[in-house]
Chains A and B, each alone.
Chain A
Amino acid sequence: MPTAGEGDDADDRQRSALMAAAQAGDRDAYAAVLRSSIPVIRATAVRLGVAADAVDDVVQETLLTIHRARHTYDPKRPFIAWLRAIAKRRAIDVIRHDSRRRGREVDGQHVADEQPDPRPTPSGVAEQASDARRLRGVVATLPRSQRDAVEHLVLADRSLPEAAAATSRSQGAMKVNLHRAIKSLRTRLGG
């Protein structure tokens, strides 16, 4: 009966063979090795302390990096070490990115307390309609990636996973694109 270590070695040899086949262009092998890598990536992210809502970002970023770096894998070396190194680096990137983003965010309650009465007056309704038309016009001038982020996340009020699936982008990319779009809109609208 094989020991746990021998089982891990066998798994790694199998993944190594699949990755070698993927390097030669075998799409079925590539799909198999990517799917089998997801639990390892998740475990690496959790072990490094990535927030639960950011683990999916780590998975997506790692899969993208595997795709870009696939030519660097040497089938004579352990696949798991190569995979874990990439997953670890992407997890650290996500942790740092989230940390910087949280440092820029303002406390929601504090902002809400300082806002004026939001109920519109009759003249205010017409002004809001004009503002909405102007906003849609400016959104249309944004780069495609930023426009998608605004349209899916803000105007259509979709969740992050839904928007990411609809646009074939990672959730991390959607967040960054939304942030850039808001910055662009502020500049263009003079706010």
Chain B
Amino acid sequence: MATPHAADDHLIDRLCAELTPVRRTRSPLAYAGIWLVFVVISALALAPFADLGAMARRLAAAPEMWLAVVGSTLTAVLAAIAVLQLSLPDRRPAWAWLPMPAMALWVGASGVGCLRGLVVPEAHAADWAEARLCLAFIIGFSLPLSLLLWRLTACGFPLRPRRTTALTGLASAAAAATLLNLFHPFDLAALDLLVHVAAVALVIAANASASGRRFVTGMA
């Protein structure tokens, strides 16, 4: 009868026979930089199609929008860094908390903007048709951003796939929401905020559910 240690030796012999040289994965910050460069290139590609003057006037009229833009931008950056840190086995799980303060700023500032819409009569709030376009933009733009971040995460080996891919969704949705400001002629209102939250939640949930068996655990 084979002993457990014999089974371990057998497995080690098999793994050694299969051993090939590997290239070490790069630093998480390097991969985060690659992703952020892609986001910036996307923004530059969209800028010619945006009414930058209208965007500047809207931001000047609603100061809390600056905070919301800063919040969504920081959320995207910090969530991407957190994802790529968590793609390495020996990184602390606490990295998952990195984007949370920025997310609180984003949501809080957006909420204040929503209240402004209630008291400023001339504020132009989005209707359902316009809100659906916002939803489609965030979800649609999150897809290529998520795919790229997934690909970069796969250069590591995350031990908690669902948490990692949920954060991937947060980073992508936050980046898409930031880019949306280029085309967002509306003052933020309750409907708009609801649609933004729904879009971000959908992207996070879709990423988390797709994590599945993407990273093989060996539990055949």
Contacts and interface: CB of A to CB of B under 8 A. Distances in A.
B2 A27 contact: no
Contacts of A31: 12-13, 16
A159 interface: yes
B22 interface: yes
Contacts, number: 120
Interface of B: 1-4, 6-8, 10-25, 87-90, 156-157, 159-160, 216-220
Nearest to A35: B12
B89 A24 contact: no
Contact of B219 (A23, A78, A97, A164): A97
Contacts of B20: 25
Given A63-B8, A64-B218, A23 B21 contact: yes
A145 B220 CA distance: 9
Contacts of A168: 10-11, 14
A69 B88 CA distance: 9
Contacts of B8: 38, 56, 59-60, 63
B43 to A, nearest CB: 31
Interface of A: 22-25, 27, 30-31, 34-35, 38, 56, 59-61, 63-65, 67-74, 77-78, 81-82, 85-86, 89-90, 93, 97, 145, 159, 161-162, 164-166, 168-173, 176-177
Contact of A170 (B1, B19, B159, B220): B220
Contacts of B3: 161
